[in-house]
Amino acid sequence: MENCCTTDGCSVRQFLTKEEKIEKLQEYKKALETEVKAVQEKINDIKR
pLDDT of residue 12: 82
pTM over 0.85: no
Give the Cα separation of 1 and 23 in Å (integer).
10
Q: Going residue by residue through the chain (48 aa), what tens digit of pLDDT does each one get? A: 455 566 666 778 889 999 999 999 999 999 999 999 999 999 999 999
pLDDT of residue 48: 94
Residue 4 Ramachandran class (φ > 0 left, ψ -120 to 50 alpha, else beta): beta
**Is the separation of the CB atoms in 13 and 6 below 8 Å?**
no
Distances (CA, A) of 39 to 2, 4, 10: 31, 37, 38
